[in-house]
Amino acid sequence: MKEFNFFEKLTQEEKEYLLENSKYVEIPKDFTLFYQGDICNEILILKEGTVQLLMYGAIDEMIPLYEIQKGEQCIINTSSTLSNTSAIATAQTKTAIKGWLIPSKIVQELMIKSPSYQQYIFSLFAIKFSALTTLIQDIKFKKLDVRILESLKMKNEKFISITHEELANDLGTSRVVISRVLKDLENKNLIKLHRKKIELL
């Protein structure tokens, strides 16, 4: 667990206790770790790979909230585990992942006993809350065509290999809407559509 900022700041006793009570896991891509509405009893801390958090609406509308990267744990997972309440989103592996599962009892004890772990958790909450605030601002105030162009330009490539369905999932809207806006952008000579690729002009 040396990859995690908080680990080296733990006492030797805390390190041994954490390692003895954690389970190392390797999980394939597209695996659901927990569903929206579940009460989590373990926390995943991520050594390798990417996990995405997805919130679903009443009619299967989906909004991607944020991603978990190497060295992080999920604040939704953590909140559900520590408070024994339902998770507000679904967690799904975006790539194959490696990490450790820590039982809720151990996490609760660390939160009480370890200032280093507390600081790690609070900093993660601040980072992800900022990401969620940006997402809300984008959805509320930015037009979809602007969000699409920004998303494509972030790839730093002229030809982006992505389907309309994947882009819709990334931006939390439907494939039909994405296809319509992409066609408008093509008519404005901002992009050119290819099979499973989009060219930035």
Is a pLDDT exceeding 80 seen at residue 57? no
User: Does residue 2 register a pLDDT over 80?
Assistant: no
In the chain, % of residues over pLDDT 90: 28
Is residue 94 assigned to a domain? yes
Instruction: Summarize the confidence of residues 170-175 as an average pLDDT.
Output: 78
> Which pLDDT tens digit goes with each residue over 142-160?
788 888 898 898 888 889 9
pLDDT at 23: 93
d(CA 13, CA 34): 31
- Residues 136 and 151 grouped into a single domain: no
Residue 90 amino acid letter:
T
pLDDT bucket at 133, cuts 50 / 70 / 90: confident
What's the distance, Cα to Cα, between the start and end of the chain in Å?
Answer: 44
Q: pLDDT, tens digit, for every residue of 61-119?
A: 778 888 888 988 888 998 898 888 999 999 999 999 999 999 989 888 888 888 888 88
Residue 1 lies in a domain: no
> 36-51, pLDDT tens digit by residue?
999 999 999 999 999 9
The CA distances from residue 201 to 108, 147, 161, 193, in Å, are: 52, 16, 15, 10
Q: Which of 13-17, 141-145, 168-172 has the highest mean pLDDT?
A: 13-17
Q: Kindly tell me if the per-residue pLDDT of 134 is higher than 80.
A: no
Residues in the chain: 201
Cβ atoms of 27 and 93 closer than 8 Å: yes
pLDDT at 192 over 70: yes
Shared-domain flag, residues 125 and 110: yes
163 and 125 share one domain: no
With the C-alpha atoms ordered 31, 48, 91, 83, is the resulting torsion angle positive or negative?
positive
- Spatial neighbors of 148 by CB under 8 A, at least 6 apart, are 167, 171, 178, 181, 182, 185
Handedness of CA 57, 93, 169, 126 (dihedral sign): positive
> Of 125, 140, 155, which one is at a domain's C-terminal end?
140
**Residue 52: in which H helix or E strand, if any?**
strand 51-56
pLDDT band for position 171 (cuts 50, 70, 90):
confident
Say if residue 69 is exposed, middle or buried (CB neighbours under 10 Å; 0-12, 13-18, 19+).
exposed
**Cα–Cα nearest to 111, from 100, 125, 97:** 125
More confident position, 137 or 95? 95
Give the global pTM.
Answer: 0.68
Residues 38 and 91 occupy one common structural domain: yes
List b or e across 100-124, with b for residues whose CB sees 16 or more CB atoms inside 10 angstroms.
bbbebebbebbeeebebbeebbeeb
Domain that includes residue 77, residue range:
7-140
Give alpha helix (H) positions in 21-156.
75-83, 104-113, 115-141, 144-153
Residue 65 half-sphere exposure toward CB, CA atoms < 13 A: 23
Q: How many domains does the chain have?
A: 2
CATH number of the domain encompassing residue 67: 2.60.120.10
Q: Which of 47-56, 125-134, 162-171, 174-183 has the lowest mean pLDDT?
A: 125-134
Predicted confidence at residue 8, as pLDDT, reads: 82
